[in-house]
Structure 1
Amino acid sequence: MSHAADHSANDIVGINWGSTNFRAYRLAEDGRLVDEFTKAAGVAGLGKPGMAALIDELMARWPDVSAVYASGMVGSNIGWCEVPYVAAPAGVGDVAKGATRTFMGVVKVNIAPGVCCNREFDDGPDILRGEEIELFGFASSNPAWSGLAALPGTHTKWVRFDGGRITDFFTSMSGEMFDRLTAAGLLASIVEGEARDCAAFHDGVRAGHERRLGLGTLLFGARARVMRGRLSRADSASYLRGLLIGSEIADALAIQPGLAKASVPLIGNGTVCRLYASALSALGVESWVVDSRDACIQGFLALHKAMTSSNADVN
């Protein structure tokens, strides 16, 4: 997407490096996306030699940059090195101070810490890695915003954000549960096609949210519905997804009662976010979709600004 003439030695690199994917962005001082590079090469399948080789591959593409930042599972116990969590409430300055400067091969990389919290609701612990970059990116583009945000995905985060700081949050594994339940096991045998926004999805949302029965019972009930002809195989994925999202939103309303009167930014993949938006709307909660790529880019720029303003050695 870029030409050599667009490159500057003052450009920075931001890397969102998760368990399964590697996404890198070359960013100009003025915030422009100069170039990007993605690869299905998460830390879980690489090991340290593979991670160093991938960084070398990236730097061969972009040899002339001023600083390199990385976030996500690269800073976990399965990544390059374990970077301790920063405790909430935490702003971008706290994350900048908690970053670890290390060499990956011959490349100097600033690895961002995740954030941990003890929830106000029940004093329960929770953790996140990588999502903090998207949150700070969203906040930098919306400086007057405070409230609740959701980051739908494999492990969906529901986050309270106030005064530019992450205050507390909780995580739902409903995305991973859906993936696993529809890939193998008894429920996989009834699923045909992808989950979509339809009447069956909303039936599932209502049942999951009402919680007249536990989620385990409701999930098996999806199989019984198909076997008894009350749910088509083509709609079963939608119904299952609805059950899981509806139950998750019930948790969100219990843990963060302010959600009921909020307008919630949904930061993430458009397809999944639209399912969440539809489910929330059916339950009387307003929301809007924020592109995770844009938020991530703005987050790395905010992190770079915080680190350079604190006179940190990021080069």
Structure 2
Amino acid sequence: MSHDLDWIAADWGSTRLRLWAMAADGTRLAERSSQPERAPRTPAEFETILRALAGDWLERTGTIVACGMLGAREGWVEVPYRPVPCAVTPAALTRAPVAAADTRPTLSLHVVSGLSQATPPDVMRGEETQIAGFLAKNDGWDGVICLPGTHTKWAHVSAGEVVSFQTFMTGELFALLSEQSVLRHGVAEAGWDADAFADALSDTISRPEKLAGKLFALRGGHLLDDLDPATARARLSGLLIGAELAAAKPYWLGQNMALIGSDTVAHPYAEGLAAQGVTVLRADADDMTLAGLRAAHAQLAGA
């Protein structure tokens, strides 16, 4: 079968745009990514950024199947949410949420809709595609899926449906505190201390109400005890993820668990859950996104 470029898969997250050149049979041919200096503010800016990254690929295909923030109210074109509970099996993903959101002479953009929840109010865009991809590779799986990232999602999945979900801003809080707060002076940009992470996580799971005080202790440790910046980074991560795990306990306690994410963001969650005696099934975020987008493209190809 020919592996010529036939369509482009796109995942536009909060901080990064990823593109994959795809063959008609779903084979991944190449990939590109970028991290724009700021979020695009107009539809024209979205298109400019995407065209710049896709480059010569658009000389061979104008079909783009996408998920993520480009379908949000502030995105390229708004695509309505689907309220939960709703099906996220590959078949359901290809039936309802893909729409020809924007068609131009040389570009046909199709965006997968996100999910919404009325009580408590919550939304997701992009993660629903990863969940659909995970179910495509794990037929009949039920349980809770954690999707770490800038805004981490915990989704309860049963019988091919997302029943409920909750979002935690842990990743964004970590970035703000480590890069823009007073803690930035003592927190390294890289490095790790596994013991410091484990201790901080355990402390916060046990006493989450002490989080604010524990955070400022990192500042005190830097000024008075020459706290190693890499250790401070690990403690900060442990404190924040510990608070998240404490709040998300109804999701993971006694549940069948899966974790979708890159190793960088998923590993601390896996370690934190393992410390609570929770075994997780790991899956790569890019692989799950592509599996979901392949299902969406199949609907377009068969239409």
User: 2:248 is paired with a residue of what secondary structure?
Assistant: helix
User: 1:194 is paired with a residue of what secondary structure?
Assistant: coil
User: 2:26 is paired with a residue of what secondary structure?
Assistant: coil
Question: Contact between 2:191 and 2:233, CA under 8 Å: does it hold in 1?
Answer: yes
Residue identity over aligned pairs, in percent, reads 30
Question: Contact between 2:208 and 2:246, CA under 8 Å: does it hold in 1?
Answer: no
Report the more deviating stretch, 14-23 or 242-251: 14-23
Superposition pairs for residues 138-177 of structure 1, below 5 Å? 138-177=134-173
Per the alignment, residue 175 of structure 2 pairs with 179
Which sections of structure 2, spanning at least 5 residues, go unmatched? Answer: none
TM-score normalized with structure 2 length:
0.88
User: 1:44 is paired with a residue of what secondary structure?
Assistant: coil
Per the alignment, residue 7 of structure 1 pairs with 4
C-alpha root-mean-square deviation of aligned residues, in Å? 2.5
Counterpart amino acid of residue 137 in structure 1: G
Number of aligned residue pairs: give it. Answer: 297
Cα deviation, residue 117, structure 1: 1.4
Deviations 1:145-183 (A, max 9, x none): 111011111110011111222111101111111111011
User: 1:133 is paired with a residue of what secondary structure?
Assistant: helix
Per the alignment, residue 115 of structure 1 pairs with 115
Question: Contact between 1:277 and 1:288, CA under 8 Å: does it hold in 2?
Answer: no
Cα deviation, residue 56, structure 1: 4.0
Indicate whether 1:275 and 2:272 are aligned.
Answer: no
User: 1:222 is paired with a residue of what secondary structure?
Assistant: helix
Distance across 2 between alignment mates of 1:61 and 1:31? 16
Which sections of structure 1, spanning at least 5 residues, go unmatched? Answer: none
Per the alignment, residue 102 of structure 1 pairs with 101
Counterpart amino acid of residue 99 in structure 1: V
Indicate whether 1:229 and 2:225 are aligned.
Answer: yes
Indicate whether 1:78 and 2:74 are aligned.
Answer: yes
Deviations 1:182-201 (A, max 9, x none): 11221112213435351100
Distance across 1 between alignment mates of 2:126 and 2:152? 12
Cα deviation, residue 112, structure 1: 1.4
Distance across 2 between alignment mates of 1:145 and 1:274? 22
Per the alignment, residue 37 of structure 1 pairs with 32
User: 2:19 is paired with a residue of what secondary structure?
Assistant: strand
Cα deviation, residue 52, structure 1: 2.4
User: 2:225 is paired with a residue of what secondary structure?
Assistant: coil
Cα deviation, residue 62, structure 1: 4.1
TM-score normalized with structure 1 length:
0.85
